[in-house]
């Protein structure tokens, strides 16, 4: 035809009846074609025909006037107007050319035809339905809604039925009113219409998100209402009705979710979204809330009574869609789904409804939902991209064929064929995820034995599978017997072949499981803790878990010490922090109750000192050793430790306050528990360390800048050295200068601003100075005494008369405190002071005792 109409001489010879017949055939073809290519070709012929004015008149008038034509067709203006509203650029361009070709002949005459050409049926029907829904004739309402559904369903996808937002909103008004109807049949018909209306091809430009939300909201309200009604009623005889109603509701809600998902994923739809009233994100969050608050309770309630593949398929489709709509909210939502048993629900439904190649579409949507849910949960536990990809591949390959009941899983795990390997790994992942979130497929005893058989039969497990196996064994260990040598060796071999496992944070249960067995804790304890301690920030809850681990498993303490002393790293620093918290806790004294552990700690400290690796962990290791010594346990290794610690002191500076504090504490604890027959050896070793004496002097002379803890430790250590030197008359290589008057002034005038422990240590040091009378080790500064010395100051040197009086007053005040230890320390020091005064000047002792500030009852105590 294109060739004929391209040849002007041939056209001139065509009779009018043939021309008219050709126009009818062309319009009939355009009215009923559904292919773009044929439409374009026909429009090309129309454009050629529009070169002739007489032919244009034939095409533009109603050729059916005056008789019935057996070939039905639509007028050319209506055809071209529909194509202008299509979504295909090629059809829009060709139709515009055809309109221009028509209008060029008689613009005023033909333009009215194009303006008046209307898309038949929708707008009048909408107006009629709006009137009908306000009345009580439900039959008419149902028929009207069915007609609307049919029009929406049969509308060609290439032609937009609602070019403007107002037209789309008008239809939504009718549908929302219909869904909200008290008549269930009317409501169901309206939902069927809504499901068709929410197809992407029916959306106006821009997409009216507010209207989509209105429809979803009224449907969810209806679901909630129906669910509560059915919960109150007896469900006997109405299970199929309930499932059918719910099916229609879910169909409508699923359509809303799919439309919004298309807007999220399709850039053309996303760019054409109307965000004046609703944003795309707010609608996505709203749909998630509806799913959580209405869909899940209603569907799970029905599924408890009847298994409907159609309902379940739509329900899982809605759940699966949420992962695309609200990815930022899926962390908490996926945990909630897993904790509510949705992994088990989906797998049990697969086993019940999809075995034997039944319900393939349901099986597919089950697999899709499980894959998204599991990967969302797994990504919260694993961060290695390659590992995540491997786990996703295993789940993707194995889930479709996994249609067996949970009771059959133990036998699947114990089978040997290599072909089942991915399926077994898939089962391990599923058991891990469900148990992690409080859902159990099997009893703990059955799971423990099944996983144990699996690990005994399979070698070279990926890190992700081995991690899950360890978790399952650790959580269900209580339901099974303690492992004997063979399975522990199998586990040890598996762990040795998978060092990647320890680069991640292992759960507390897995760490407890490892430290339960010596063979595992000795080899894998430190690396297992390293992964846990390598996190940049330790949450308070995680730190508390580690403290519980140290309290429960003494071997974990040794492993933590190994990590702390290994190197300057994030793990080392975290281990130091955990050990410091542990030492501050009341349970730290339990270390000394295990002799083997004490020996291992001594050996660890000795190795660190011999390697000269002075890390942050050395300080903590010394503190732990101090706790051991405080229990009174001593052996030959301790003197080797004393030698190395003494050498360590020679390399320290007074600015190394943290390590210096640990060293001083260690030395003080050592001297405190050292057997009497060995104290001369110990004190001689320390007095020969000139640098130690210098450091003690530097710390005490800079008391205003030194920490309270370091001052306490220095005073206690110097007190012990002074007493032992006096006892054994040990040789002194360097004396320590001390301002005793400053210490007395602190006791007399600065008690309120001084740490309580520092006051006790100061009192103890003053007592030692008074007891030894004169010490070769101490060089007491007497600058506070007037020169020349009076006879009384000379007799009471180095404290003098004023110092003795001030000390007496200070000690009397301390004895009035409510702390028993403080009172005891002050009383002992007062005894020493009275003894010192009696030895030096009995008259002064009598005069001091008569001071009004000293209560008589104190001397009664003395």
Give the DSSP letter string of 340-359: TTHHHHHHHHHHHHSGGG--
pLDDT band at 857 (very low <50, low <70, confident <90, very high): very low
The residue with greater pLDDT, 860 or 556, is 556
pLDDT band at 852 (very low <50, low <70, confident <90, very high): very low
pLDDT band at 235 (very low <50, low <70, confident <90, very high): very low
Q: What does the alpha-carbon distance between residue 661 and residue 561 come to, in Å, rounded to a whole number?
A: 18
pLDDT band at 777 (very low <50, low <70, confident <90, very high): very high
15-41 residue pLDDT tens: 888 888 899 999 999 988 878 899 999
- Residue 336, pLDDT above cutoff 50: yes
State the DSSP H helix or E strand holding residue 608, giving kind and residue range, or none if neither. helix 595-611
DSSP H stretches of helix in 707-755: 708-728, 740-749
State the DSSP H helix or E strand holding residue 492, giving kind and residue range, or none if neither. helix 485-496
The residue with greater pLDDT, 362 or 655, is 362
Q: Is the peptide bond before 798 cis (omega within 30 degrees of 0)?
A: yes
Please state which of the ranges 161-165, 350-354, 534-538, 721-725 shows the lowest mean pLDDT.
534-538
Q: Between the ranges 499-503, 579-583, 717-721, where is the mean pLDDT highest?
A: 717-721
- Residue 232, pLDDT above cutoff 70: no
Q: What does the alpha-carbon distance between residue 19 and residue 41 come to, in Å, rounded to a whole number?
A: 18
459: left (phi over 0), alpha (psi -120 to 50) or beta: beta
The residue with greater pLDDT, 146 or 537, is 146
Q: What does the alpha-carbon distance between residue 464 and residue 399 come to, in Å, rounded to a whole number?
A: 17
pLDDT band at 386 (very low <50, low <70, confident <90, very high): confident
Q: Report whether 400 contacts 367 (CB < 8 A).
A: yes
Q: What is the mean pLDDT of the chain?
A: 85
- Residue 595, pLDDT above cutoff 80: no
Q: Report whether 463 contacts 500 (CB < 8 A).
A: yes
Q: What does the alpha-carbon distance between residue 60 and residue 110 come to, in Å, rounded to a whole number?
A: 8
Average pLDDT over residues 90-108: 88
168-207 residue pLDDT tens: 999 999 999 999 999 999 999 999 999 999 998 888 878 8
474-499 residue pLDDT tens: 999 998 889 999 999 999 999 998 88
The residue with greater pLDDT, 108 or 218, is 218
- Collapsing DSSP to helix, strand or coil, 29 comes out as helix
What is the reported pLDDT for 282? 93
53-73 residue pLDDT tens: 889 998 987 665 544 556 788
pLDDT band at 622 (very low <50, low <70, confident <90, very high): confident
Percent of the chain beyond pLDDT 90?
43
- Residue 247, pLDDT above cutoff 70: yes
Phi, psi at residue 50, to the nearest 5°?
A: -75, 5
- Residue 851, pLDDT above cutoff 80: no
pLDDT band at 790 (very low <50, low <70, confident <90, very high): confident
Residues 6+ apart with CB under 8 A from 745: 806
The residue with greater pLDDT, 415 or 262, is 262
Q: What does the alpha-carbon distance between residue 718 and residue 724 come to, in Å, rounded to a whole number?
A: 10
- Residue 272, pLDDT above cutoff 60: no
Q: Between the ranges 513-517, 705-709, 849-853, where is the mean pLDDT highest?
A: 513-517
Q: What does the alpha-carbon distance between residue 233 and residue 610 come to, in Å, rounded to a whole number?
A: 81
Q: Between the ranges 133-142, 359-368, 450-459, 564-573, where is the mean pLDDT highest?
A: 359-368
289-312 residue pLDDT tens: 999 999 999 888 877 777 789 999
635-687 residue pLDDT tens: 777 888 899 899 989 888 888 888 899 999 999 999 998 888 899 999 999 99
What is the reported pLDDT for 343? 95
Q: Report whether 777 contacts 687 (CB < 8 A).
A: yes
């Amino acid at each position: 035809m294109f060739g004929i109409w391209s040849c002007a001489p041939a056209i001139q010879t065509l009779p009018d009846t043939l021309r008219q017949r050709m126009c009818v055939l062309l319009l009939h073809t355009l009215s009923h074609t559904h292919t773009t290519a044929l439409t374009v070709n026909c429009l090309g012929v129309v454009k050629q025909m529009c070169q002739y004015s007489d032919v244009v008149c034939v095409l533009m008038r109603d050729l059916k006037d005056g008789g019935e034509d057996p070939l039905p067709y639509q007028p050319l203006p209506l055809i071209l107007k529909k194509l202008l509203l299509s979504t295909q650029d090629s059809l829009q361009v060709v139709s515009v050319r055809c309109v221009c070709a028509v209008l060029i002949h008689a613009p005023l005459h033909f333009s009215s035809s194009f303006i008046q050409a209307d898309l038949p049926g929708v707008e009048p029907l909408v107006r009629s339905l709006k009137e009908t829904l306000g009345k009580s004739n439900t039959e008419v309402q149902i028929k009207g809604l069915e007609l609307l559904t049919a029009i929406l369903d049969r509308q060609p996808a290439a032609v937009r039925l609602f070019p403007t937002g107002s037209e789309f909103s008008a239809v939504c008004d009718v549908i929302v009113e219909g869904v909200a109807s008290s008549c269930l049949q009317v409501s169901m018909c309206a939902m069927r219409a809504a499901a068709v209306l929410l197809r992407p091809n029916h959306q106006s430009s821009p997409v009216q998100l507010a209207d989509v939300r209105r429809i979803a909201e009224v449907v969810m309200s209806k679901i909630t209402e129906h669910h509560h009604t059915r919960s109150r009623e007896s469900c006997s005889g109405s299970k199929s009705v309930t499932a059918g109603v719910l099916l229609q509701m879910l169909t409508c809600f699923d359509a809303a979710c799919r439309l919004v998902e298309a807007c999220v994923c399709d850039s053309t739809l996303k760019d054409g979204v109307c965000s004046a009233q609703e944003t795309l994100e707010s609608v996505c969050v709203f749909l998630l809330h509806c799913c959580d608050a209405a869909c899940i309770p209603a569907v799970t309630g029905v599924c408890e009574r009847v298994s409907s593949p159609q309902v379940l398929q739509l329900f899982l489709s809605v759940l699966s869609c949420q992962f695309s709509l609200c990815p930022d909210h899926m962390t908490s939502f996926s945990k909630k789904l897993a904790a509510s048993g949705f992994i088990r629900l989906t797998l049990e439904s697969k086993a019940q409804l999809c075995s034997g190649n039944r319900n393939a579409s349901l099986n597919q949507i089950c697999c899709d939902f499980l894959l998204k849910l599991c990967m969302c949960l797994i990504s919260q536990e694993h961060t290695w991209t390659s590992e995540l990809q491997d786990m996703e591949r295993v789940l993707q390959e194995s889930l479709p064929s996994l249609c067996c009941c949970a009771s059959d899983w133990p036998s699947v795990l114990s089978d040997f064929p290599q072909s089942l390997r991915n399926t077994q790994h898939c089962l391990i992942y599923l058991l891990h995820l469900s148990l992690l979130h409080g859902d159990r497929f099997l009893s703990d005893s059955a799971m423990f034995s099944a996983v144990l058989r699996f690990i005994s039969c399979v070698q070279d497990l990926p890190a992700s599978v081995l991690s899950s196996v360890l978790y399952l064994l650790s959580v269900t260990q209580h339901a099974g017997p303690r492992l004997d040598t063979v399975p522990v060796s199998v586990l040890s071999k598996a762990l040795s072949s998978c060092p990647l496992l320890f680069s991640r944070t292992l759960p507390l249960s897995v760490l407890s499981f490892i430290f339960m067995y010596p063979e595992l804790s000795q080899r894998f304890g430190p690396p297992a803790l390293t992964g846990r301690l390598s996190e940049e920030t330790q949450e308070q809850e995680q730190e508390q878990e580690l403290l519980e681990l140290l309290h429960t498993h003494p071997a974990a303490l040794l492993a933590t010490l190994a990590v702390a002393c290994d190197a300057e790293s994030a793990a080392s620093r975290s281990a130091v922090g955990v050990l410091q918290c542990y030492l501050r806790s009341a349970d730290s004294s339990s270390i000394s109750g295990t002799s083997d552990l004490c020996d291992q700690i001594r050996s660890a400290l000795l190795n660190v000192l011999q390697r000269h690796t002075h890390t942050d962990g050395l300080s903590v290791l010394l503190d732990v050793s101090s706790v051991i010594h405080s229990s009174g346990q001593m052996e030959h290794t301790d003197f080797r430790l004393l030698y190395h610690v003494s050498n360590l002191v020679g390399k320290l500076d007074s600015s190394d306050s943290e390590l210096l504090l640990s060293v001083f504490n260690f030395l003080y604890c050592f001297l405190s528990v050292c057997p009497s027959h060995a104290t001369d050896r110990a004190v001689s070793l320390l007095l020969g360390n000139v640098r130690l004496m210098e450091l003690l002097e530097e710390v005490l002379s800079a008391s205003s800048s030194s920490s309270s803890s370091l001052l306490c430790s220095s005073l206690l250590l110097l007190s012990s050295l002074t007493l032992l030197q006096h006892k054994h008359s040990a040789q002194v290589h360097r004396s320590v200068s001390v301002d005793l008057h400053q210490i007395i002034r602190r006791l007399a005038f600065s008690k309120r601003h001084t740490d309580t422990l520092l006051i006790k240590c100061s009192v103890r040091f003053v007592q030692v100075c008074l007891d030894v009378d004169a010490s070769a080790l101490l060089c007491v500064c007497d600058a506070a005494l007037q020169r020349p010395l009076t006879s009384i100051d000379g007799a009471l040197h180095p404290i003098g008369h004023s110092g003795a009086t001030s000390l007496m007053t200070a000690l009397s005040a301390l004895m009035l405190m409510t702390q028993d230890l403080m009172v005891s320390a002050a009383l002992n020091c007062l005894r020493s002071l009275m003894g010192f005064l009696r030895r030096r000047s009995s008259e002064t002792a009598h005069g001091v005792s008569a001071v009004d500030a000293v209560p008589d009852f104190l001397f009664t105590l003395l």
